[in-house]
Amino acid sequence: MFKLSGKVAVITGGGSGIGQALSKLFGQQGAHVEVLDVDGPAAAATAAAIRAGGGSAAGSACDVSDATAVTSAFEHVVARTRRLDILINNAGIAHVGDIERTSEDDFDRLYRVNVKGVFLCTRAAVPVMVRQGGGVILNMASIVSFIGVADRFAYSMTKGAVLTMTKSVAIDYVKQGVRCNCICPARIHTPFVDGFVKKNYPGREEAVLQELAQYQPMGRMGTPEEVAYLALYLCSDEASFVTGQAYPLDGGVLNQ
């Protein structure tokens, strides 16, 4: 079950954190993984780790907010692999602040990466999937797609858009065999979170990390691997009847 042998998967933001966990698991399950990241060396390192474990992977730099870069990256993937079975739109950035503490530059930056990036990559992938008779798109949304979280105005805006893009693509392409779903995690403990806390809460790192953990009724943050396991199901043939859905992975947050 959940084997991806013979499939080609493009994973954005695959150089670290959740994207790296996704890339490694999909490589272990038999997919050829194309790792894209704005940090080219990080993408290459993830791909090298997959190959070292016996898998097939390539890594390259790609700024998902740049239309030219996205078009070029996807053209190169399809030229090498001749197909595209799975796209995971994982690349994203965060921001702390309510609307009064969100500048126009902040808003535009979040939109470019978290919304426009999903749009550009999906737009590049869909025609390939339609031509070959189907494929799977998985977007990384958030529990803030459903609920309000304090001081996350711009980030919440973008993840609400990811949720509605997911449903739009799912309904528009269901007859062409393209499935589209999203995962909506609560807080996931990644190196990004550690760096984010260090930057925004200097001197309070341990206390803030504990607060982030306690936000989930389970009393901890999730792990990148837990996100990857759900993603594996949703991108596998075993989930062939699932489309247009948003899956919380939240440690009980939405039950509060």
Q: Which residues are catalytic?
A: 155
141-163 burial string, b = 16+ CB within 10 Å, else e? bbbbbbeebeebbbbbbbbbbbb
Alpha-carbon distance 148 to 171, whole Å?
26
- CA 99 to each of CA 114, 164, 241, 253: distance values in angstroms, whole numbers, following the listed order: 18, 21, 39, 24
What element of type H or E holds 32?
strand 32-37
170-206 burial string, b = 16+ CB within 10 Å, else e? beebeeeebbbbbbbbbbbbbebbeebbeeeeeeeee
